[in-house]
Structure 1
Amino acid sequence: ITDAAVRAAKAVDYEGAGTIEFIADASDGLKADRIWFMEMNTRLQVEHPVTEAVTGVDLVEWQFRVAAGEPMPLKQDEIELNGWAMEARLYAEDPANGFLPSIGRLEHFHLPDGIRVDTGVEEGGEVSQFYDPMIAKLIVHAETREEAADALAEAAGQVQVWPVKTNAAFVMKCLEHPRFVAGDVDTGFIAAEDADLGAEPLSEMGIEDAANRLRQFASPLSGGRTISPWDHLDGAIGFRANAPDHLTQTVRVDGAPHVAQLLDEDDHPMTRLIGLSATRVVAFENGSAFDVSAFARGGSGAGGPASDGALRAPMPGKIVATPARPGDTITKGQPVVVLEAMKMEHALVAPFDGVVGEIGVAVGDQVAADAVLAVVTAA
């Protein structure tokens, strides 16, 4: 495809930055005669760092030089392709919720070291509904495809973003999937393998680490220290209590209760944590973030919203359709209101079989996050 791209550019006497796209039929293995030209874009695209990595060429610099009337710094036969490069787009989105964009303030934002990272946001910045949800690109270069995939999966697992959700864990699972490792991927890969691409829950070790940290802050051994929001809690802890070695403590992980064993010092390294308060921390593991809080006996906890039939806007946006009408009999999963935000449409569907009650919005309305858009009454 490199040779075909060069010949295509020569055919039209093209000089400048451009991206040529191909479509391939790999149903019987990837073969040279099963690849077809699709289109050419007369600009750099999001994936241009992959080309830069395997050629050692700064394409953005070249673009400026050509625009200034300078000749190309190298001839085609002077450019060598070396190794393998892979890039992952880090999106502010929720793969577990249909890849719905996630917006809000980046209270904590840490990207992996040791690889190329291109980003235009920083900690404290705002992910807005008005722009594309891509917040960074992770690019790796290695001698082989396998090494590049391993390095990118490791990098995705080191992403720490809170409270905005990202696709980091999803990217890691894709890269580790046997079909991807074997190169057996196509446009139906995600739909076919969706069940295997979900983020892993916080590990028992991670729960124990977080519980230990919460216990430490609650203990007199902490010397009355108060935790500052966004404290970085990396590193081993040395908690001991005047009690048996294997104490337990109940904590909530994203609202669900878990019983954790409180460990002696040096049992294992601490999961990457940040502190929100003396009773709440965020644990980062394999690209996911988990809200861990002390368990309040008798409390209702931070569970999910009640299934009261109220359909709420998951983010600010514009109403683009109301396919249901008040009084309609409706089945679970049937769209009631369609919201547009961050260049995507999101259908709010009936949570159960029932009857549409009030629809409080009309097409064209701008709505705030968490606004009640419609109500469905159970049949």
Structure 2
Amino acid sequence: MTEFATAPRPIRTILIANRGEIACRVIRTCKRLGLSSVAVYSDADADALHVRQADQALRIGPASAAESYLSIAAILDAASRSGADAIHPGYGFLSENAGFARACEEAGLIFIGPTSVAIAAMGSKIEAKKIAEAGGVPTVPGYLGADQSAAALAEQAARIGFPVLIKASAGGGGRGMRRVDGPEGFAAALQAAKAEAKGAFGDDTVLLEKFIGNPRHLEVQLMSDTHGNLVHLFERDCSVQRNNQKVFEEAPAPHLSEAVRTKLFDRALTLGRTIGYTSAGTVEFIMEAGGSEPYFLEMNTRLQVEHPVTEAVTGIDLVEWQIRVAAGLPLPAGQDQIRLQGHAIEARIAAERPDRGYQPATGRIQAVHVPRGVRFDTGIAAGSEVGPHYDSMIAKLIVHGANREHAVSALATGLDDLAVLGIGTNTGFLRACVARPDFAAGRLTTGFLAREFPDGWTPDAEQLRALRAQAALAWAHGLDPAGDSPWQRRSAFRVMGKRRAATVELRLQDDYGELDVMVRLETDAPVVRFEDGTEVSGTIPAATLVDGGRVQISRGGLSLDVQVSLAIDVDAGAAADAASDNHVTAPLPGVVTGLFVEAGALVAKGDSLVQMEAMKLVHTLAAPRDGRIARIHCAVGDVVASGAPLIDITADGEE
């Protein structure tokens, strides 16, 4: 019997109301503590890794998150069927839903997190800022008023002084946020921000903030129990972001004075005491780079995605502490017993294509090669299906070193050696970030990516060339299956003469283009010759899969899916089939969420035709030409593959 079974609030079985890597991570702690775990899954996740790892697994609905992971009734029903004592919400989905926490409390279930009252208090950015200000915690100058009229908000923006930020009060992730540099653009930006906030959160209330031009995003991890103990577990820097979504996180924050660090801890603890907080929570701050005044932004009343870096530098399992607090047990350590050990950095691995404007990627995972010496939190494995229904993050790579220099070196090596084959990921892009001098030096702000990649990211040309050569070598390596038999070798064999190397011309086609190379089948190892006369040979990366003419390969963080063909067999017209203006096809895998035309309708170039959603991003496809809708191949709710035909258009009068 574990200590949790005899705790003031006994816990024996925990249902994880989440999916993917965070569900697997909570299950791991449950197993270590001797607690039974219950996974829940939608139809899209029936064979997911978290389902296989848990002691029990229960279906809660169809693929749509609204009908499964966001359904309070479905989650509570699963808890009742499983006999769970407690529910861990993970992050995202219902984790910061005060109604869900209250429903758990009313059902007699232990919610592993703060009280519904604390969640509600911090759930509105406006109310959270008012509470912080009342408690003496400075906030960014702005407007939090109830008058939401366009005229009043425009007047307040002028008072604050441009540039200003318009921000949705409910929710986060950058939705409902607009920067406005002058009064002439305010009305349009306000209308767009309110519409986006209404669609994302059902609430178009906004607040205004003074725009900080070169900000650092800092946060403090809090933990408290029901016995009056409240501690901080140091700070994290989450400044490297894309569209207000974090990309890298690290602890401790680099280049931070002790005076600023003390302000962060004092202000976070003050807010925690003000609202009587319990469990794990994170207080977020923003500060001008080089400044000394961190301003309160918001509080996340849950476990953060980036919690592993805090675990790495403290040696504390935050999920275990959450469970202890929920069971009514005291924190196992006080503030003076919590020590900082070295430096940790986390990189978020996402199923997306940075080279295509961060387009979501879906498909079946063929192989996962995890580097040694790193922590790799994930919800995927070989055979896992990555679909369009949920967030694109599939894993987190976490490194720890004696200092930041060591941690950055370990991160570079880890990204070099990590390989996820079968779908596109952002690993190559992350590796390019780490190679930038400002990253190594810790000169990080929220403008890092825009500054370093102003025109977007594409693979390094030499790295791409080398990996293509390795793909050709991998394909050629399989041409001599007969071992020592001279009768079946592809090299030129003669009974009465010296063996000669055979050559073959190959066409390599991948997502970045195509090229022809010559492969010379030498006695010992093949050699690839490029059109400019340079030659490449060498070892084939371990992360390589060859299936007929398809070669999946990864090295140095860059992965390729290469189609290898004999040049004489290539159909020169195959690649041009088409993208005729007469056909609208899906630019990525996703779900059709809107159809704006009917068969026979006349449309003009640029008119909206179809709306698709993939991994929480919405894409609207427009008519490529004037014409008439000849045929519609899809319906709302259809899950379509990349390149799938959606709509045919003909010129008016054509058959």
TM-score over 0.5 for the pair: yes
1:299 maps to: 570
Q: Please, which of 591, 606, 618 is the counterpart of residue 317 of structure 1?
A: 591
Structure 1 residues 1-379: aligned runs within 5 Å: 1-26=264-289, 29=290, 31-33=291-293, 35-192=294-451, 193-195=453-455, 197-201=457-461, 202-219=463-480, 222=483, 242-243=499-500, 249-254=505-510, 256-260=514-518, 262=520, 265=524, 268-292=538-562, 293-300=564-571, 303=575, 306-309=578-581, 310-313=583-586, 314-320=588-594, 322=596, 327-330=602-605, 336-349=609-622, 354-358=625-629, 360=632, 364-369=636-641, 370-375=643-648
Specify whether residues 206 and 101 from structure 1 end up closer, same or farther in structure 2 by C-alpha distance, changes over 3 A only.
Answer: closer
Q: Is the 8 A contact 1:330 1:355 kept in 2?
A: yes
Report deviation, 1:148: 1.9
| Cα distance in 2 for residues equivalent to 1:173 and 1:203 | 13
Report deviation, 1:318: 2.5
Specify whether residues 190 and 376 from structure 1 end up closer, same or farther in structure 2 by C-alpha distance, changes over 3 A only.
Answer: farther
Structure 1's consecutive aligned runs of 4 or more residues displaced over 6 angstroms after TM superposition are none
Report deviation, 1:262: 4.0
**Identical amino acids, percent of aligned pairs:** 36
Report deviation, 1:106: 1.0
Q: Which stretch shows the higher mean deviation, 177-186 or 156-165?
A: 177-186
Specify whether residues 299 and 258 from structure 1 end up closer, same or farther in structure 2 by C-alpha distance, changes over 3 A only.
Answer: closer
1:227 maps to: none
| Cα distance in 1 for residues equivalent to 2:609 and 2:357 | 17
Alignment length, in residue pairs?
356
Q: Secondary structure at the match of 2:593?
A: strand
Residue type at the aligned position of 1:340: E
2:532 maps to: none
Q: Is the 8 A contact 1:319 1:367 kept in 2?
A: no
| Cα distance in 2 for residues equivalent to 1:342 and 1:120 | 16
Q: Secondary structure at the match of 2:423?
A: coil
Report deviation, 1:278: 4.2
Q: Is the 8 A contact 1:319 1:361 kept in 2?
A: no
Report deviation, 1:101: 1.7
- TM-score, structure 1 as length reference: 0.81
Specify whether residues 25 and 168 from structure 1 end up closer, same or farther in structure 2 by C-alpha distance, changes over 3 A only.
Answer: same
Q: Which stretch shows the higher mean deviation, 175-184 or 310-319?
A: 175-184
Specify whether residues 128 and 304 from structure 1 end up closer, same or farther in structure 2 by C-alpha distance, changes over 3 A only.
Answer: farther
Specify whether residues 119 and 307 from structure 1 end up closer, same or farther in structure 2 by C-alpha distance, changes over 3 A only.
Answer: same
Q: Is the 8 A contact 1:210 1:271 kept in 2?
A: no
Report deviation, 1:186: 3.2
| Cα distance in 2 for residues equivalent to 1:40 and 1:174 | 28
Report deviation, 1:93: 1.4
Residue type at the aligned position of 1:128: G
Q: Secondary structure at the match of 2:584?
A: strand
Specify whether residues 74 and 220 from structure 1 end up closer, same or farther in structure 2 by C-alpha distance, changes over 3 A only.
Answer: closer
**Quick check: which one's helix share is greater?**
2
Q: CA offsets per residue over residues 323-362 of structure 1, 9 Å max, x none?
A: 999544436xx86533112211123356x6x325427379
- TM-score, structure 2 as length reference: 0.49
| Cα distance in 2 for residues equivalent to 1:180 and 1:188 | 12
- Rg: which structure is higher? 2
Q: CA offsets per residue over residues 206-230 of structure 1, 9 Å max, x none?
A: 3333323322322375468xxxxxx
Q: Which runs of 5+ in 1 are unaligned?
A: 225-238
Specify whether residues 41 and 323 from structure 1 end up closer, same or farther in structure 2 by C-alpha distance, changes over 3 A only.
Answer: farther
| Cα distance in 2 for residues equivalent to 1:79 and 1:356 | 68
| Cα distance in 1 for residues equivalent to 2:549 and 2:416 | 26
1:234 maps to: none
| Cα distance in 1 for residues equivalent to 2:405 and 2:518 | 37
Q: CA offsets per residue over residues 73-117 of structure 1, 9 Å max, x none?
A: 111121122222111111111222222221221122222221011
Residue type at the aligned position of 1:330: K
Q: CA offsets per residue over residues 34-89 of structure 1, 9 Å max, x none?
A: x2111112211101111111111111111111111111111112112222211111
Q: CA offsets per residue over residues 164-188 of structure 1, 9 Å max, x none?
A: 1111111111222233334344333
Residue type at the aligned position of 1:173: A
Report deviation, 1:190: 2.8
RMSD, matched Cα? 3.3
Q: CA offsets per residue over residues 291-343 of structure 1, 9 Å max, x none?
A: 33133414227747622122212213033364999544436xx8653311221
Q: Which stretch shows the higher mean deviation, 118-127 or 312-321?
A: 312-321
Q: Which stretch shows the higher mean deviation, 207-216 or 76-85?
A: 207-216
| RCO comparison, higher one (Cα < 8 Å, 6+) | 1
| Cα distance in 2 for residues equivalent to 1:139 and 1:112 | 11
| Cα distance in 1 for residues equivalent to 2:646 and 2:347 | 35
